[in-house]
Chains A and B, each alone.
Chain A
Amino acid sequence: MRFKPGKIALSIAAPVFAAVFSLAVSSASLLATNKSPREAFSLMWEFGSGAGSLMEAVNLATSYYIAAIAIALTFRAGLFNIGVEGQLRLGSLFAAYFGAMIVLPPVLHILAIFLIAMFVGGLWASIAAYMKVKRGVSEVISTIMLNSVAGGVSAYLLSKHFMVKVEGSNDLATKPLPASGQFPDLMPVLKKLGVEEQPGGGVYGMLLVAIVLGIAFWFVVNRTRFGFELRSSGMNPIAARVSGVNSKKMTFIALVASGAIAGLAGLPTLLGDTHSYTLGFRGGVGFTAIAIALLGRNSAVGMAISALLFGFLEVASRTLELIDIAPETYVIMQGSILLSAVIAYEVVRRYQLTLQSHALAKAGDK
């Protein structure tokens, strides 16, 4: 108990180091192009902390967070699902297509769309799961390949089968969801709390789903027998097998469940904003979510903070165009945060181990 203040300081040390390092790298890259980092950062802060920008950042973070949970679930089982991108793409496409076809009362309709998206995402992930368990194919490679295949399949299905003509637009899109299939906005609730309405703004109702998912993730992984078996088959498959855990079964379940959650990750945009799947459906969520899961150390709270941070950086950097800085600056920031964070976490972990062994040695001397 005596070490507690030090422990807290240590656990904060890594993220703080990562933030400082990332600021240094992005400042350096701005200076290298003859721009003033101070001006850039203050502009980003000014724009990003406005209510409208914050709402948009939260909306972006909602998708990121759900996708990050999907990835973290496999990390906890000692696996790596890089296929979230493909799973969420196919999940969204099928959810949009069948969601617009079925007729159901409001709440049931949304639930049905959830089920479709989860089923398709899980089914797609089950290909990689089957190949891993039965044929020993690394899920890292197979899910990456399946991402490319999903890209081709979804483009084909959309343009040849699922598309409807949109008046006055060249974009291919599925039929829009009826009102009963659209997730209501949180704006009415927020207004009661004294938040003013923003032009073009609003907060996706799916935020609530993301929060529930986060809590469920924490509970299932840390507080249930299933979660214990999942983690133990990830940490030490041989020990897990000896103690009666079927690690192949856990591998299969973890990948399929991850795919099912990934299927949901496209829905905040679909149900809250676009209401139809288009050719230009927001891409890259699955990859950004990898960074978020790593940065948040696969913990429900950590990933929420990282998702919000990434959303904030993405929205705030849009203003940089005003002073002739490439808005892609945020990618540099996100990347350097990620790399320095994973290194810092590792250094801190080693330092903690050293501290522990010193403490043990001292206790042994007495």
Chain B
Amino acid sequence: MLEKGKLSGMRRTIIIFFGIIAILSIIRVATGASDLTSVGTAQAALLLSVPIVLAALGGLFAERAGVVNIGLEGMMIMGAWAGGFMGSKHGPWVGLLAAIFFGAVGALVHAIATITFGVDHVVSGVAINIIAAGLVRYISTILAQGGSWPGPSQSPDVEPIGQNGLPILSGGKYFGWQSPDILNSIGEKNWFLISDISRVLRGLTGELSYVTMIAVALVPISYYILWKTSFGLRLRSTGESPIAAESLGVNVYAMKYWGVLLSGGFAGLGGGFLAIVAANHYQENQIGGRGYIGLAAMLFGNWRPGGLLAGSALFGFADALQLRDSAAIHALLLLIVAFLLFAAWRSFKKGQRIATIVALALAGFFAWFFVAFEELPGQLVTMTPYLATLIVLSLASQRLRGPAAAGLPYRRGGLK
């Protein structure tokens, strides 16, 4: 039964994936925004999705153990800083390990506050975000005063990490053998849809950093750990019903600590990735709310690894477009209008008058925007990922169900 459901889910995912590319190719042809399905955009989207995936996985482990982790942002900041600090001294791999460690240190504070002392999870998380930002600024200022850093907001450069592509399809290099690059040559042919698909696939499989490969592999690994091992079952049971779990002999406190510490490790790695792979040094405000976006991706993905991957890909794509080409964002406005009209139609059929009016008004607004601006002003383009988060959450969030006991304090023996 479950296997059958999974298969059809897999098929659905593939259909949706190619469906989206088809819609994008149509918009590309209609508006001439060729960056919508270019190799570069797909590459950038993947690169920008990875930190969000990692943050979302971090959120997943914590919330499945019953702890809400708004502190992901702060843990990513610590990770990015550590990545820049240690990476510039001892090389990128040490930097990534340091990033994981520092993220976990931030998570330890969160765990002590929420699990041991029962502080409100959101309060503790926000406190950690404030402290992390202040702490790294403080230490960076000292490092800049000492002259070992170029400035208080930037670390020295980190060496790049190696990369490779799939053999045969995407032109990887193996033991000195340069494989052909089939997808790229199809992509350059400019056949409608076929070339679009191969360009996107080429972007997703060629010239991958090794860390990207590890990060993507962490999604199925997390699924396996959480749903196929007894550790995962115990961890999830503390998030659904800690009292029942305790009565079956699960050490609820230990499970929650594991969940939060893993969460911090993931977030730290996400921060380190931003500093070392996506850029080549740590920079202040590098995280820019990606911890929160990761949390939103996890909500959107209904607290499941596959779902959060889809959510992160969406935000990564929006982010890549706004960085590369604002003309493409302009074209995407049409897609948003279509979405909103669909939402309006749905709520009209359900008889929700206010929701219909709101959706129609928003659709009208974005349509006006599309017509009024030939080219979007830069300040507005930068907010694309945040707007995408808002729109997606408000379209999706009513069908979502998280772990039953997430966010609730737990005391052994039911004491308050």
The chain A residues found within 8 Å of chain B, CB to CB, are 29, 33, 80, 82, 130-131, 134-138, 140-142, 144-146, 148-149, 151-153, 155-156, 159-160, 287-288, 290-291, 294, 324, 326, 328-329, 331-332, 334-336, 338-339, 342-343, 346-347, 350, 353
Contact = CB atoms under 8 A, between A and B. Distances in A.
Among all A-B residue pairs, the 7 with the closest Cβ atoms = A331-B134, A335-B131, A152-B383, A156-B379, A326-B141, A148-B386, A155-B379
B113 interface: yes
B386 A149 contact: yes
Contact of A145 (B113, B124, B133, B386): B386
Contact of B119 (A156, A324, A346): A346
Contact of B358 (A130, A331, A335, A353): A130
A326 B119 contact: no
Contacts of B395: 135
Interface string B385-416: 01101100111011000000000000000001
Contact of B398 (A135, A142, A148, A338): A135
B380 A287 contact: no
Interface stretch (B25-33, B292-300, B363-371): B292-300
A135 B397 contact: yes
B320 to A, nearest CB: 17
16 contacts: A130-B358, A137-B394, A140-B122, A145-B289, A151-B383, A153-B379, A153-B383, A156-B377, A160-B377, A294-B126, A338-B131, A339-B109, A339-B113, A342-B113, A342-B119, A343-B113
Contacts, number: 130
Nearest to A159: B379
Residue among B130, B131, B389 facing the most chain A CB atoms (10 A cut-off): B130
Nearest to A294: B123
Nearest to A342: B119
Given A335-B127, A335-B130, A346-B117, A149 B138 contact: no
Nearest to B144: A326
A134 B386 contact: no
Nearest to B394: A135
Contacts of A339: 109, 113, 124, 127-128, 131
A288 B390 CA distance: 24
Residue among B123, B137, B358 facing the most chain A CB atoms (10 A cut-off): B123
B117 A328 contact: no
Interface string B11-43: 000000000000000000000000000000000
Contact of B382 (A136, A152, A290, A353): A152
Contacts of A82: 126
Given A131-B394, A342-B127, A152 B122 contact: no
B180 interface: no
Interface in B129-164: 130-131, 133-135, 137-138, 141-142, 145
A343 B138 contact: no
Interface of B: 70, 109, 112-113, 117-120, 122-124, 126-128, 130-131, 133-135, 137-138, 141-142, 145, 288-289, 292-293, 295-296, 299, 354-355, 358, 377, 379-380, 382-383, 386-387, 389-390, 393-395, 397-398, 416
Nearest to B411: A350
B299 A332 contact: no
B355 A134 contact: yes
B127 A141 contact: no
A143 to B, nearest CB: 10
A330 B114 CA distance: 25
A80 B134 CA distance: 22
Contacts of A80: 122, 126
A350 B118 contact: yes
A142 B137 CA distance: 27
A130 B143 CA distance: 45
Nearest to B384: A152
A144 B390 CA distance: 10
Given A130-B358, A145-B387, A343-B112, 20 more contacts: A80-B126, A135-B395, A136-B398, A137-B397, A141-B295, A144-B292, A148-B386, A290-B126, A291-B127, A294-B126, A326-B142, A331-B138, A332-B138, A334-B130, A334-B134, A335-B135, A338-B127, A343-B113, A343-B117, A346-B117
B383 A149 contact: yes
A155 B74 CA distance: 25
A319 to B, nearest CB: 16
B393 A131 contact: yes
Contacts of B137: 328, 331
A148 B389 CA distance: 11
A70 B109 CA distance: 27
Contact of A328 (B138, B379, B393): B138
A259 to B, nearest CB: 16
B393 A329 contact: no
B360 to A, nearest CB: 15
A324 B146 CA distance: 10
A328 B137 CA distance: 7
A134 B133 CA distance: 34
A346 B119 CA distance: 6
B393 A326 contact: no
Contacts of B135: 331-332, 335
Nearest to A345: B119
A338 B126 CA distance: 10
Contacts of B379: 152-153, 155-156, 159
A328 B292 CA distance: 25
Contacts of B126: 80, 82, 290, 294
Contacts of B123: 294, 342
A152 B295 CA distance: 21
A287 B126 CA distance: 9
A2 B289 CA distance: 51
A338 B130 contact: yes
Contacts of A353: 416
A134 B356 CA distance: 12
Nearest to B288: A148
A343 B119 CA distance: 6
Contacts of B124: 339, 342
B388 to A, nearest CB: 9
A138 B300 CA distance: 12
Residue among A29, A130, A339 facing the most chain B CB atoms (10 A cut-off): A339
A171 to B, nearest CB: 16
A37 to B, nearest CB: 14
Contacts of A130: 358
A233 to B, nearest CB: 17
A328 B377 CA distance: 35
A77 to B, nearest CB: 14
Contacts of A33: 142
A142 B138 contact: no
B149 to A, nearest CB: 12
A172 to B, nearest CB: 11
Contacts of A331: 133-135, 137-138
Nearest to A146: B390
A155 B378 CA distance: 10
A282 B416 CA distance: 41
A141 B134 contact: no
